[in-house]
Each structure stands twice: as structure tokens, then as C-alpha cells.
């Protein structure tokens, strides 16, 4: 995961006692703690307990964190350890196969990578979203809310004709996709795919090359 200047800034601010930086850290990584906890089928009460424990431990360990950019990995690992502790002592877990909440080391490593990648993608989308015009932010927020706002409600609140909601949504999404941070994120899978095809093609050429006996 790349060194995110925003994470470094927030960690350094929280270390120096900046309450705003601390609150932003918690807001930024609370979804990461929640998503890891839910892998262990914990109840809502235990998920909340895990979150409180993770933040308390972070307060204790923050001065010792040598690499601020390593914070997301620390949060994932600490959350997993606390979840496993609750599972072992038989706290309020949902009915499930014990094997599902006791992954082996390779599964844990993959889970950490997946959570970190997902978190990085969320933050990239969030960074691109705040660069949109306020009207686009309001429109997209209403469309992706749960449940999505009705077109009549959107029309009334944003003073936008119902017939123009769809075209405006398309334009706002295109601006979102065009944001530099998000454009690079979208391009990464395509680049990996091209590189993979190139490697396979090269391997095929080598495989088809005739063997010359000497």
C-alpha cells in the first residue's frame, strides 16, 4: 500500500494532541474495523466492543508507531486479534461453522491484503467525490442512499426537473471517473490485464519455438 500523505498527516496530528485529527482517523478507519469484524460473524454489540478496544489500543500505541503509513495494516491485525479473542471466549457470535472464524495464516494474510486494498479504494473514491461540485455531490448521495431517494424527492430538493436527473447523473459520474486519483485506480486493473496477456503471449511464443538438436 502506498504511503498516503493524508494518513501520515493525521497520525502526526493525533500524536500531537489534535482532537480533529484523531476524530478524522476514527471516522476514516471505522468502516475498516467494521468490515474485518463482520468476517468473524460477531454480533453488533461485540463489533462495537471490538471498535472501542481497537481505538483504545491505538491511543496507547500511537506514540510508538514508527511508520504512520503502516496504520491501516496495524488496525486490520489488531481488529483480527480482538475478534479471535472474543470468539475463543464464546462471546455473542452468530451461528456459524467454527472453521469459518478460525482462518489459517495464509487466509489471514489474504484477508488483510483484501481489506487494505478495499480501504484504499474507498478512500480514493471519497477523495474524488469531494472534488465534485456540491450539486453533483448532493445528487449522487441521494441516488446511492439506502433506500435511494425517489426522483420526485430529488427533483424537489435540488430544484431539478425529473427528466434531467438521469443526464445529470451521467455527467456527474463521468466527472467522478475523470478525477485523477480515481482515473489511476480504474486504469490499474486494465494495466495488470495487459501485462498478464503480454506475459502469456511471450510464454506461448517460447513454448511454440522449435527445439534445435545439436
Q: With beta carbons less than 8 A apart as the criterion, state whether 183 and 177 touch.
A: yes
pLDDT number for residue 139? 92
C-alpha grid cell, residue 210 = 522449435
Closest CA to 171 of 184, 181, 160, 156: 160
pTM of the model: 0.50
pLDDT number for residue 154? 93
Ranges of each domain in the chain: 1-94+107-120
pLDDT number for residue 179? 79
CA distances from 130 to 25, 88, 137 (A): 17, 42, 7
pLDDT number for residue 117? 65
Distance, in Å, from the CA atom of 192 to the CA atom of 199, rounded to the nearest integer, reads: 10
**Which CATH class for the 1-94+107-120 domain?**
mainly alpha
Q: What is the CA radius of gyration of the chain?
A: 23
pLDDT number for residue 99? 45
CA atoms within 13 A on the CB side of 108: 17
Which H, E and C letters describe the chain, residue by residue? CCCCHHHHHHHHHHHCCCHHHHHHHHHHHHHHHHHHHHCCCECHHHHHHHHHHHHHHHHHHHHHCCCHHHHHHHHHHHHHHHHHHHHHCCCCECCCCHHHHCCCHHHHHHHHHHHHHHHHHHHHHHHHHCCCCHHHHHHHHHHHCCCCCCHHHHHHHHCCCHHHHHHHHHHHHHHHHHCHHHHHHHHHHHHHHHHHHHHHHHHHHHHHCCCCCC
User: What are the 10-residue block averages of pLDDT along the chain, 214 residues in total?
Assistant: 75 88 88 87 86 90 84 89 84 46 50 62 76 90 83 93 91 84 58 50 51 43
Amino acid at each position: 500500500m502506498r504511503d498516503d500523505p493524508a494518513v501520515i498527516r493525521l497520525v502526526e496530528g493525533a500524536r500531537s494532541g489534535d482532537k480533529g485529527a484523531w476524530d478524522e482517523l476514527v471516522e476514516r478507519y471505522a468502516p475498516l474495523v467494521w468490515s474485518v469484524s463482520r468476517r468473524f460473524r460477531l454480533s453488533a454489540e461485540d463489533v462495537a466492543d471490538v471498535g472501542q478496544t481497537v481505538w483504545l489500543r491505538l491511543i496507547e500505541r500511537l506514540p510508538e508507531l514508527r511508520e504512520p503509513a503502516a496504520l491501516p495494516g496495524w488496525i486490520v491485525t489488531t481488529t483480527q486479534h480482538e475478534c479471535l479473542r472474543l470468539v475463543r471466549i464464546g462471546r455473542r457470535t452468530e451461528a456459524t461453522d467454527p472453521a469459518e472464524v478460525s482462518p489459517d495464516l495464509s487466509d489471514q494474510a489474504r484477508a488483510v491484503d483484501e481489506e487494505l486494498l478495499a480501504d484504499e479504494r474507498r478512500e480514493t473514491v471519497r477523495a474524488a467525490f469531494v472534488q465534485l461540485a456540491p450539486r453533483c455531490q448532493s445528487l449522487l448521495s441521494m441516488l446511492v442512499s439506502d433506500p435511494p431517494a425517489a426522483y420526485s424527492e430529488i427533483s424537489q430538493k435540488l430544484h431539478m426537473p425529473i427528466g434531467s436527473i438521469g443526464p445529470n447523473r451521467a455527467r456527474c459520474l463521468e466527472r467522478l471517473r475523470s478525477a485523477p486519483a480515481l482515473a489511476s485506480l480504474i486504469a490499474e486493473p486494465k494495466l495488470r490485464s495487459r501485462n498478464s496477456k503480454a506475459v502469456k503471449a511471450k510464454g506461448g511464443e517460447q513454448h511454440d519455438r522449435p527445439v534445435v538438436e545439436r
